[in-house]
Structures are given as structure tokens and as C-alpha cells.
Amino acid sequence: MNKVLSLVLLCVSLNTMAGQNSFWRTHTLVMIYASTCPHCHHQAEVLAPLVQSENIAHQLFSLDNQPLPQFKQFSLAPSGLLQAAYPDGKVSYPALFIVANHSLKLYPLSYGFLDSYELNNRLLGLKEKITQYEANTYES
């Protein structure tokens, strides 16, 4: 029953997000993962249909230079990204961020697994906050 509810909520969220893809022309969803991490595999299973159906710009960064089955394209996580994503030096994964392409500002979305409902809610909320913040920052 929970899977059915999650699927229904995902469809509602996706319909709400339809037409808002201009955000993803200027921002990229980033996932940091390790191929040996079961939570990372679960996160990729949730993330893959979302980025495909919504045409979300995305980039995956591996900590062990190995792909996940759902995403064949990936890069080894550069040290600069890891320093920005984990300023305290404590690396946890999976981790999701939104990156502003023009400024390379990193906005944390999650550290740890999010199911589809949580992911959609956080994406919608963070996208709105980023849009407001950047409108105020770059209008001045």
C-alpha cells in the first residue's frame, strides 16, 4: 500500500512540477555516492525515473570510480566538490545537491536516502527557495 501511495504522490508532484523545467536549464541536480552503498543504489532507483521524466539536468559523482546500474554516466568526485559539500570533512552518502550552473553555488538537498515522496517535497521546496534567493541576490 505504501508503494501505491508513494507512486500516486509522485505523479501528483510530477504534474505540479510540469512546466517548471526552466529551473533545470540553469541548475543541476548532483548526487554523490559509492557503488558499494545499498542506500545509494536505492536512491538511484528513486532518482532515475524522476530525472528522466522531468528532464532534470543531473550529474553523478562517485567516491569509488564505479557506476550505478541506473546511471552509466558518472565522474569521480573531485576533491573540490567534496570540500564544498562536506566542509566538516565527514563524508556521508548518498548525498543530493542542487548546483547553480552560473555561480557553482551548492545547495544541499539531502544527506542520506530519500523516498520519492520526500525527494519531491524537498525538491519543490528547495527550488522555490533557490529561485527566490537568486532573484533577490542577482537583482540588486
Which of 40, 45, 42, 30 is CA-nearest to residue 104?
30
Domain spans of the chain, in order of start: 23-139
pLDDT digits (tens, 9 = 90+) for 95-132: 999 999 999 999 999 999 999 999 999 999 999 999 99
pLDDT, position 13: 41
pLDDT tens digits, one per residue of 63-86: 999 999 999 999 999 999 999 999
Distance CA 116, CA 13 (A): 10
Measuring CA to CA, how many Å separate 5 from each of 8, 34, 44, 55, 114? Answer: 5, 29, 20, 23, 15
Q: Identify the architecture of domain 23-139 in CATH.
A: 3-Layer(aba) Sandwich (3.40)
Cα of first residue to Cα of last residue in the chain, in angstroms, is 49
DSSP letter at 36?
Answer: T
Q: What is the pLDDT of residue 6?
A: 37
User: Is the pLDDT at 12 greater than 80, yes or no?
Assistant: no
Model's pTM, two decimal places? 0.82
Long-range contacts of 68-76 (CB under 8 A, 24+ apart): 68/33, 68/35, 68/40, 68/41, 68/44, 69/41, 69/44, 70/44, 70/45, 71/44
Alpha carbon dihedral 122, 14, 132, 93, in 10-degree steps, equals: 30
In 3D space, the residue among 58, 55, 78 whose CA is nearest the CA of residue 68 turns out to be 58
On average, the pLDDT of the chain sits at 88
Enumerate the β-bridge partners of residue 75: 61
Q: Can you give the pLDDT at residue 139?
A: 66
